[in-house]
Structure 1
Amino acid sequence: MWLVTALVVGSVLFLNSSRTVPVAGHDAVVSPTLSSHAVFETGPVLPDVRFDLPGRLGVTIVLGKTEAESTEELFARYALIASNVEPQVATVRDAMVELALASALRGIAAGSLPVILYLLLGPAGRRDVWEELRRLRPRPLLAVALVVAAVVALWQPWRSEEPEVARSRSWMSVQEFLGEGIPVPEQAKGIELSADSTAAGTQRLIGSALDTYAKSQDFYDAAVESAADLDLREPRDDETVVLLVSDRHDNVGMDRVARAVADRAGATGVFGGGDDTSTGKAWEAFSLDSLDKTFRGMDRWFVTGNHDHGSFVGDYLADKGWEKLDGEVVEGPGGGTLLGFPDPRSSGLGSWRDEKGISFGEAAEKVADVACESQEAGERVNTILVHDANLGEVALERGCADLVLGGHTHVPSGPTPFDGEAGQLGYSYTNGTTGGAAYAIAVGSKPRRDASLTLVTYDGAGRPAGIQLVTLLTDGRFRVEPYDRLALPQGV
């Protein structure tokens, strides 16, 4: 009785459940079905999309609010996300698993109620109830009627799975929808579109998105393949290598390239230098999902940048298991010490910046104070991670850190030596834009400008030993800079 009740109730609850998650830059409602299809309901203007799934289970994804400024921008974003779609698939899959587990738990709880009643009555009580039911014929009928009514109320068979318009729509392949004049990538040939929106403008947008997707796939696939053969410095057994990425600005296509470079270099950790988004809004969760999935299994530290303004980016990555650096000295790569501080400024999509909370200068003094206090306590800070390397310059001038890492300018520079007040040597280094972004925008079939990745090597004591810059050029070629050894004195 427990098993049957749990299965029936759990299944009914699951098939009538839903969850809101960020998908492709939208607030999206995810609902399980028995259609064997993944169906994207895109709204009243654009055609709905579906493709086959293995097995009996399906899913409907109703795309809701987003913050794209135009339909063209929206389709360009779709194409970019599709070039690294697995994090979005994982988001939907996780939502489905959570719905299934929640429904199963409720089903198990519901199934336990008759069992508990059965056990509470005991043999004598059950005999008394049975005898009472046998004497009064209408009661068994009433009991059966109540059970049937409860099942029907949960099942609600009168509810249509789809509204009338959705049931009446017809489907055609994407190639049929676009016509033979527009080539469709092999990966997209199984996609079907609803045939009730066939405006020429929509066809052009979809064709453009598919073209961007195909070019993006080819560009980043080739880059990943080339990364495996890069001539990078091989770390010694006692050394630790960390990859520095910054200023991704939603370019999820570069993430798998960055991971390929990290794997080739033997990196075991990653520094996130900020500006992973362009506005810091929830619709950009797709970029953070990609960052998280790409570097899963590595040690991960991050700070937020001026474009990551607000609490969303920091909280989202921290919930994913990234270590958020927020003004305290923590253990860093190779057992060394690491200090990070978020950028005190905020930006929109323009070139202007506002300061929030404390000024940039005050933040720089605070970073230096924390680093110098740690040094006075006998623990020198080996690395300061900030979004803008200028935020760590005061600490270097006061001789309280070995290396400051940043980004922000979209142009790599350094390592630049600094002599501290008491002669302590430190370095400042700025990574370029990992997303290949021009200003805060990195959407396109390839980077808009040269994309920078930096490998930071630490010795057996956790002190920075050297830096190597790797650049993916806009023509798809890699440029690997010579390894820059950091001449830090021993014992400082």
Structure 2
Amino acid sequence: MTKARLRTIAPWAGLSVLFVATSVVVGLFGFANDSERVTIGAHAATVSPTFDGHATLDLGAVLPRLRIPADTPAGIGVNIDVQETDADNLTELLTRDALIASQPDGEIGRIRQVVEQMAVDNAVAGAGSGLLVVVVVATLWTALGARRRRELWHLVHRHERRFEHRSIVVLVAMLITIASIYGPGRMRPAEVPPTQWQPLFKLLPELAFDDRLKTVEVASGFSTTGGVGVIRTLVETYRKSTELYGRLKDGVDEVATQIHRPGEDETVALLVSDRHDNIGIDGFAAEVAKVGGAKVLIDAGDDTSAGQSWEAFSINSLRQHFKDLKVVAVAGNHDAGGHVENVMRKSGFTVLDSKPVEVEGIRFLGDSDPTKTGLGSADRPGDETIAQQSERLADIACEQPDDKRISTMVVHDPSSFADTAARGCATLLLSGHLHRQVGPEHRVVDGRAVTTYTNGTTGGAAYAFALGYTLRKPAEVTLITYRQGLPIGLQVVAAQPSGAVTVGPYTPLGS
């Protein structure tokens, strides 16, 4: 390579190296010092990235810190500072946390998403800083001009020794400054010894541990030894939950031959409703969807119990378990308040809002429940009554031309589809709310087939809260088969409180 070509390439190479170096340093520094306040499980929490390869949970002064290998590239870990919650008492809080921990996929996915977003944000900030430095340096380089740069070069070389001396003085000053900032803290002896970690199974050798729990470590100290009873209760709750829901998930494979499989020209949707925070059942429901060949998840509402922001873990679990499916959803009366619908939309769900939409060739119409019901509180009216919503949705459905007839209406309360069904303006009308199965009921209105169907509670909920290591009632999901966008059959699959899985007959729908 000639000197002339080298002189031409050198500035660009130098600018490239400067850009990369600045971007990496600024990006890594920003990432290492970043944090994000999020809702995880039943708590507000602050998530901060680390480089120790572990996910560490700081549970406060009473309970011990826990950590588990993060299994992420480059040894990236995360520290989760668990903070306030709306739980009324410690027992309720710990039980809730243990049950959520038994089905952690949704929360793990949420934390991973937060850390990835922080990495992207800081990478962009680093690249922006690198570009700014390159622009400034290139501008100064151009502004000086070739003649002035030669003059400065000769000046430096004529006073070489003086330049070296000044460089040494500057370097020493920088080292003294850095040492004065960081040195004292490093030289002081630590008053508290570094954290010692021990495996959870050694703390409770009398209990059986699954593979996931065997990797959990507990910070040693008074909070650990003094809280053995609490920790034992949490582990037992976790174990009971994983045993029941693991048995239900495995049970789906045992009855797989009884589940109807779609033909090549058919599409299957899985209907869920009234989960009421029971994320434990999601593994079972996802396995039914897999065996049944489902491509769409239809959520008829009441995923939570009070519609609070901390209940985002229920939607996070749906998103994680059904990440390969299109999700069409409405919010129920226990989801009211806006938090649940916002999380659904952020999760990529199609939230029905009184406008016809087409998903996987199926034409949907629906809306969230207007009634607001908290956990244990009475119903409060929303912007409209159920009767008004029913009439309004019927007007929208009946306005559609025959070639764009509503294939499937989804609401939470079956009363919300009453007018549409009576006027025959949708083929299949789905709901939840009652916590018991009603239908399928067929009728013909003005020569058009109409089927109404209410799904039982998917969470096995007797009342408005179903998170637990037992089912209060059979937990029900329904597979709906479509051909060319029209429903042609459905089949119920239920998880029994005993741990058995039952499959109902495939029921063809009237045409």
CA deviations 1:368-414 (Å, max 9, x no partner) are 11111114x65322211001122101111112111110001111110
Between the aligned partners of 2:429 and 2:309, the Cα distance in structure 1 is: 30
Please give the alpha-carbon distance, in whole angstroms, between the structure 1 residues aligned to 2:131 and 2:435.
60
Q: For residue 159 of structure 1, report the CA deviation from its aligned partner.
A: 7.8
Aligned to 2:388: 362
Question: Which whole-Å CA distance do the structure 2 matches of 1:28 and 1:9 have between them?
Answer: 26
2:373 alignment partner AA: S
Letter in 1 for 2:290: D
C-alpha distance in 1 between matches for 2:177 and 2:223: 45
2:391 matched to 1:372?
Answer: no
Q: Does 1:227 align with 2:227?
A: no
1:47 is paired with a residue whose SS is: coil
**Residues 122-141 of structure 1 aligned to structure 2 (within 5 Å):** 122=142, 123-130=146-153
2:399 counterpart SS class: helix
Q: Distance in 2 between matches of 1:418 and 1:149?
A: 87
Percentage identity across paired residues of the two chains: 34
CA distance in 1, matches of 2:185, 2:83: 23
TM-score, structure 2 length as denominator? Answer: 0.85
Q: CA offsets per residue over residues 121-140 of structure 1, 9 Å max, x none?
A: 23444445556677686976
Give, in whole Å, the separation in 2 of the partners of 1:360 and 1:219.
37
CA gap 1:6/1:450 in 2 versus in 1, 3 angstroms: same
Q: Is the 8 A contact 1:133 1:140 kept in 2?
A: no
Give how far 1:327 is off: 0.4
- The answer as to whether partners of 1:22 and 1:283 remain within 8 angstroms in 2 is yes
Q: Which of 465, 469, 473 lines up with 1:449 in the alignment?
A: 473
Residue in structure 1 matching 2:491, options 452, 465, 468: 468
The 5 A counterparts of 1:71-220 are 71-120=90-139, 121-122=141-142, 123-130=146-153, 169-178=195-204, 180-198=205-223, 202-220=227-245
User: Contact 1:393/1:428 (CA < 8 Å) preserved in 2?
Assistant: no
Shift in Å, 1:425: 3.4
**Alignment coverage as a number of residue pairs:** 479
- Determine if contact 2:442/2:510 at 8 Å carries over to the other structure: no
Q: Which amino acid in 2 is paired with 1:448?
A: R
| CA displacement 1:44-89 (0-9 Å, x = unmatched) | 2222112334453322110122222222222222222222212222
Structure 2 distance, partners of 1:485, 1:451, is 22
Q: Structure 1 residues 299, 183: closer, same or farther in 2, change over 3 A? A: closer
- Structure 1 residues 481 and 192 mapped into 2: Cα distance closer, same or farther (>3 Å)? same
Deviations 1:323-367, CA, capped at 9 Å, x for gaps: 11010111145x242111110111111162112111111111111
Give the superposition deviation at 1:169. Answer: 4.5
Larger mean Cα displacement after TM superposition, 15-24 or 117-126: 117-126
Is the 2:61–2:223 Cα contact (8 Å) retained in structure 1?
no
SS in 1 for 2:469: coil
Is the 1:302–1:322 Cα contact (8 Å) retained in structure 2?
yes
Shift of 1:257: 0.9
The equivalent residue for 1:352 is 378
Which of 34, 43, 46 is matched with 2:63 structurally? 46
SS at the partner of 1:353? coil
Q: Distance in 2 between matches of 1:479 and 1:84?
A: 23
Contact 2:451-2:510 at 8 Å conserved across structures: no
**Which residue in the other structure is 2:6 paired with?**
none
Shift of 1:150: 11
Give the secondary structure class of the aligned counterpart of 1:457.
strand
TM-score, normalised relative to structure 1: 0.89
CA distance in 1, matches of 2:179, 2:153: 25
Q: In the alignment, does 2:430 pair up with 1:411?
A: no
User: What is the CA distance between 1:174 and its match in structure 2?
Assistant: 2.0
> Quick check: 2:439–2:452 contact (8 Å CA) kept in 1?
yes
In the alignment, is the contact (CA less than 8 A) between 2:63 and 2:224 conserved in 1?
Answer: no
> Could you list the per-position Cα deviations for residues 204-262 of structure 1 after superposition, in whole angstroms to 9, with x for gaps in the alignment?
33212211222222222222222124211222222211100111111111112111111
Alpha-carbon contact 1:367-1:392 (below 8 Å) kept: yes
Q: What CA distance in whole angstroms lies between the structure 2 residues aligned with 1:37 and 1:87? A: 18
d(CA) in 1 for partners of 2:337, 2:29: 40
Task: Compare the two structures and name the one with the higher helix fraction.
Answer: 2
The 2-side partners of 1:10 and 1:262 are apart by 41
Amino acid paired to 1:452: E
Letter in 1 for 2:87: A
Letter in 1 for 2:301: G
Report the 3-state secondary structure (helix = DSSP H, G, I; strand = E; otherwise coil) of the residue aligned with 2:345: helix
Q: Is 1:426 aligned to residue 438 of structure 2?
A: no
Looking at structure 1, the residues matched to 362 and 53 of structure 2 have their Cα atoms a distance apart, in angstroms, of 51
Question: 1:158 Cα shift?
Answer: 7.3
Instruction: Output aligned runs, 1:238-387, within 5 Å.
Output: 238-333=265-360, 335-350=361-376, 352-375=378-401, 379-387=404-412
Distance change (3 Å), C-alpha of 1:152 and 1:108: farther
Q: Return 451-460 or 344-353, whichever deviates more.
A: 344-353
**Alpha carbons 2:280, 2:467 under 8 Å: kept:** no
The structure with more radius of gyration:
2
Q: What is the deviation of 1:444?
A: 1.4
Q: CA deviation at 1:165?
A: 8.9
Inter-partner Cα distance in structure 1 for 2:176 and 2:350 = 52
Deviation of 1:267 after TM superposition, in Å, equals 1.3
Q: 1:328 is aligned with what amino acid?
A: K
What residue ranges of structure 2 are gaps of 5+ in the alignment?
Answer: 1-17
The one-letter amino acid paired with 1:97 is: E
Q: Do 2:274 and 2:433's aligned partners in 1 also have CA atoms closer than 8 Å?
A: yes
* Whole-angstrom CA distance in 2 between matches of 1:166 and 1:407: 56
Q: Contact (CA 8 Å) 1:72, 1:205: kept in 2 or not?
A: no
Shift of 1:299: 2.0
Task: Determine if the alignment matches structure 1 residue 478 to structure 2 residue 501.
Answer: yes
Are 1:6 and 2:31 matched, yes or no?
no
* Inter-CA distance 182–394: structure 2 relative to 1 (3 Å threshold): same
